[in-house]
Structures are given as structure tokens and as C-alpha cells.
Amino acid sequence: MGQQCSHGSVQRIVVFQENGSGEKKIAGIEQYTPGCFELEVVSLDESLPAMIDDPEKYFPGELKADLVLGFLRHPDLAGELLRRCQEAEIPFVASSKKYPSAFQVATPPI
């Protein structure tokens, strides 16, 4: 059993993953911080083309979160997710992706 949440408010985290790429991280959040976060997982489990001309169709209409975690491997989708987070002013953490330094994104090695 993980430790209980020490602060009062529950934060909303939206996780975007491709073919289960974030499952271990999601399990860790649920195990070690029970009740601290409201998790929404958006899974893209279909075969994707090499180039995506219209990445918007892969995402929900409006993005509401305190934090977004990105485990998308496809560069067109990862770029679109970054753009959406910037527009909504939502902090974005991506899994070891390289983004231009002008973007506010954390890319820790995982």
C-alpha cells in the first residue's frame, strides 16, 4: 500500500500514450500517490502513418489538466500535444523528447 496524499487538493493529470508506452508510469502514480491525482489516460493504440497531416483528430477537443504527461512516440502527435499545452498554459512533461529550447517542456530521462 502506498502512502496517503498529504495535501488537500486533488490535481488532474492527463496522460497521453501510444500503444501502452506510459503504463508503468501510470501504475507508479496510482501505487505511490493514491488519491492525490485524478488521472485521465488517452491511449492511441492504432497503427499510425509515418506522416500525420491532421494531428488534431487524434486529440480531445478541449484539454483541461493541471499537468500533462506525454508518452507519444510519433513526432507529429508529440508536437501537436506540446502546442495544445502551450496554448492552454498547462505544464507538460514529455518522455525524453527533444524540443526547441524556446518551448517550456520538461524532458527527463526515464
Q: Which three cell numbers stand for residue 21?
A: 508506452
Q: Is the pLDDT of residue 2 over 50?
A: no
- Tell me the pLDDT band of 1, cut-offs 50, 70 and 90: very low
Domain definitions of the chain by residue range: 11-94
Of 63, 15, 12, 67, nearest to 36 by C-alpha is 12
Cα(48)–Cα(60) distance, integer angstroms: 17
| Angle subtended at Cα 79 by Cα 92 and Cα 106, rounded to the nearest 5 degrees | 30
> Are 106 and 93 spatial neighbours (Cβ–Cβ below 8 Å)?
yes
**Average pLDDT over every residue of 35-49:** 93
| Residues contacting 4, CB < 8 A, separation 6+ | 34, 35
CATH superfamily ID and name for 11-94: Response regulator (3.40.50.2300)
Q: What is the pTM of this model?
A: 0.81
**Average pLDDT over every residue of 82-110:** 71
> Are 81 and 59 spatial neighbours (Cβ–Cβ below 8 Å)?
yes
**Average pLDDT over every residue of 89-104:** 69
Return mean pLDDT, the chain: 84
- Tell me the CB-side half-sphere exposure of residue 49, using CA atoms within 13 A: 6
Q: Is the pLDDT of residue 101 over 90?
A: no
Q: Is the pLDDT of residue 7 over 80?
A: no
Whole-number pLDDT of residue 6: 63
